Amino acid sequence: MSNREPPLNDRTIDMPAMGFAVTLVLLAGHVAGDGSTPPGDDDFAARRARVQVAQSARIELIRRLTPSVVCIFPKDNRAGGGSGVLIDADGYGLTNYHVVAPLLPSREGEGGLADGNLYPLEVLGLDPVGDVAMFRLKSDSPFHAATLGNSDTLAVGDETLALGNPFLLAEDFTPTVTFGIVSGLHRYQPGAGRALIYSDCIQVDASINPGNSGGPLFDMTGKLIGINGRVSIEERGRINVGVGYAITINQIRRFIPALRAGLTTQHGAAGFTVADGPDGVTVDRIEKDCAAARAGIRVGDRLRQFAGTPIRSANHFLSLLGTYPAGWPVEAVLERGDITIKFRGRLEASPLPRPRGARDGAQRKMPDPFAPIPPDSEANRRAVRRALKLFIEFCGGSDALNRTMKLEWSGRRFNVDLPGNAPIPIERDEEKPPGTADLPPGAAPSDIERMIRWELYGAEPNAPRSPFQVVGSDEVDGRIAVVLELKKHDVHQPRIGLDDETGELLFVEFTHGTQAVRARYEYGEVKRSGTLRLPMRRRIHEDDRLVAEEQYDSAIAVGP
C-alpha cells in the first residue's frame, strides 16, 4: 500500500468530522507549520471553558432582554402585525410607524409579551417621515424595560442581537432572536416620497424578516441601539439576504419627548441645499426667509461642518440633517473665500407626507396611512405630569419648593459685547410672587424669566387643568429636553425645557419687546441650598445669539 496521499478528487471528506476538527483547532489556537508545540489538554480545556462562559453569558443576556420585546397586533386580530420594545416600566415603547399605521385612527391594538399575555395597546406619537412611533401597554403592574444605549459609539464589526416576531412565528409571544454584526454605519435609505426615510441608519447582517419591523436591535451589553425596520430582499420573494437596517436610537432620542406626548413630529430642514463640486460641498440654493438666509449665508458658500460633524458630501449632509427634529438648535461652519462663517440657528420644518386620499373617486379599503391624525390630549397630559414630577423630585421635593419664600442670589454677570468683558456684580433678592398675573408686553426680560421660573416652582403635576402642555423637544449641551409651553401667557409665548431623563431645568425662553426678540436663559451647574437644588449658571441668548453669562457664587433659599 502506498503511503502517498490520494488525489483530492479521489478523497472522501466527512464534513461533520471535518467541522469538529476545525473547531478543535480554532479553540486550541493551533496554526499548522508555525513550529510551535501544540497546546496541551489543560490549555484546550481552558479555552473551551472561556467559550462556554461566553455562550452562557449570551444566553443569560437574551433571557434578560426577552421580557421587553412586544408582539404588536391589531385589536382582536392576530393575522398581521409587527414588533416593538418597551423603554420604561410604565409600558411606553417604540416601534415603526408602518407597524402601527393600520391601527390608525382608532389608535388601539394589542401587545403580546413573553409572559404569554396580551395587553391593551394605545398608539401615541407618530413620526411618519422617520418611520418611528410610540405606544403604551396598559397594566396595573410595572413592565420590564430595555435600557437605551448610545449608537454613536458603534463600530463596524460590533456584535448585535435582533429580537422580534418574524412571520408571526411567536404564537406564545416569545421573540425570535438572531445574531450578527454591524455591517455598515451612516447608511441612507430613501423612502416613499416624504415618508419612511431611513437617515444615517445602521446596516446589520442579523437576519431581519417581515414581522421584525419595529423590534429592538441590542448591543452585547444589552443596550438598545436601534429599531429594526427595513431589509433588502431577494427580488422574487420577501426573503432576507443578510442586509437589514435599523434606525439609530440616538436619532429616536431626539423625538421621544414629543412622541410620548402623542404628537405627530416633523423633521428639520436647513433652509438651503448643497451640491458636490470641485471646491467641496457648496450651497447651491437657499430660501429667502429662512434662518440661514437671515444670518447671511449665500449661494456658493462651502459647508464644512454641520451639528459638529465634518461634512464629506452632499449626501452625507442630507443623511445627517434627517436625524434632527424641526426647530432643533444646530451650528454650521461655512467658508467664503478666506472667511469662516459660523451660523447658529434652528432648523426649519420639513413638510409631512401628503395624504394619499382616494384615487378616481374610489373608496379606500384601508385607512390612509398619512391622513392627518389629531394630537392625543390625554397622552399630552400624562407627559406633562411626568415632566413636572421629575422636575419637583430633582429640585428636592414639593415641600422644599413650597417652603421657599425668597431666593437670594450673589454672583457676577459677563456681557459678551462689553469691552474687556469685565464682570458686573449681582446681588439680587427674589420674593415669591403673590400670584401668577401676566406681565405687560414691555416687561424687562429678567422679570419675565423670574415670573416663568416661579410659576414652574409652584406647578402642581396632578392639577385637573394644567397651564402647561408638551410641544416638542430641544437640546442644551447635548442633553435632550422635553419642552413645555405655558399656555396662559400668550403675549410672551413662554417655553420651558426640562431634562427628559432627570427633570433638571435646562432653559426658559420667551418673546419680549416691540421687536419680538426671542430670549433664552440656559441653566447649569446645579448646587444644593439647604434642601433645594438650584442652577448656579445662566447663559442668556437673544435670537440664538449669546449676549451674557451669569455665574453665581451662592443662592440661598429662604423659608417662612
Residue 258 to residue 127: CA distance in whole angstroms: 10
Task: Return the residue matching grid coordinates 396611512.
Answer: 369
Burial environment of residue 19 by CB neighbours within 10 A (0 to 12, 13 to 18, 19 or more) = exposed
In the three-class reduction of DSSP (H, G, I as helix; E, B as strand; rest coil), residue 556 is classed as: strand
Residue 509 to residue 473: CA distance in whole angstroms: 13
What does each C-alpha distance from 5 to 8, 53, 512 come to in angstroms?
9, 40, 92
Helix (H) or strand (E) holding 381: helix 377-395
What does each C-alpha distance from 520 to 360, 412, 443, 512, 523 come to in angstroms?
50, 18, 15, 11, 10
Catalytic residue of the set 213, 466, 473, 529: 213
Cell of 336: 467664503
Residue 100: partners with Cβ closer than 8 Å, 6 or more residues away = 72, 109, 123, 126, 133, 135
Our answer to whether residue 477 is catalytic in this structure is: no
> What's CA 51's distance to the chain center, in Å?
35
What does each C-alpha distance from 480 to 178, 216, 381, 484, 559 come to in angstroms?
32, 21, 20, 13, 32
Catalytic residue of the set 68, 83, 127, 131: 131
Our answer to whether residue 98 is catalytic in this structure is: yes
Our answer to whether residue 489 is catalytic in this structure is: no
What does each C-alpha distance from 460 to 287, 403, 466, 468, 474 come to in angstroms?
43, 15, 8, 10, 23
Residue 520 to residue 524: CA distance in whole angstroms: 13
Tell which residue, 338, 336, 272, 260, has the closest CA to residue 306. 272
Residue 211 to residue 239: CA distance in whole angstroms: 12
| Catalytically active residues, by annotation | 98, 131, 213
